[in-house]
């Protein structure tokens, strides 16, 4: 992957330990993945600009709250919010 100086500080390698204990995970998605018992996996394709905006937003929220927020947690919360709004 090409180096991107404006985003390199946001990269968290897969499998890297989080600074916050699992019990302090952000409430943006509610329960943890293990307790939800996922039955399906979806892939979501986004443009480079959408991904850049997502990474910057998550990094900004982590800095403000001091808690780690995963892209998975953010997307789950967005889906739940949209379904609740539409009555699904």
Question: What are the tens digits of pLDDT across the range 18-46?
Answer: 554 443 434 554 445 556 778 888 898 99
pLDDT of residue 35: 62
pLDDT tens per residue, range 69-78? 999 999 999 9
**Domain spans of the chain, in order of start:** 42-88
Dihedral angle, C-alpha 81, 79, 72, 5, nearest 10 °: -90
CA-based nearest residue to 79, from 66, 70, 88: 88
pLDDT of residue 88: 77
| pTM recorded for the entire structure | 0.54
Assess whether pLDDT exceeds 80 at residue 49: yes
**Lookup: tokens for 13:** 């390698």
């Amino acid at each position: 992957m090409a180096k991107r100086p404006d985003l390199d500080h946001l990269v968290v390698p897969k499998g890297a330990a989080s600074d916050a204990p699992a019990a302090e995970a952000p409430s943006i998605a509610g329960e943890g993945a293990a307790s939800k018992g996922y039955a399906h996996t979806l892939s979501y394709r986004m443009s480079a600009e959408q991904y850049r905006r997502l990474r910057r937003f998550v990094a900004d929220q982590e800095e403000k709250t001091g808690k780690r927020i995963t892209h998975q947690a953010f997307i789950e919360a967005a889906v739940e919010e949209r379904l609740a709004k539409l009555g699904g």
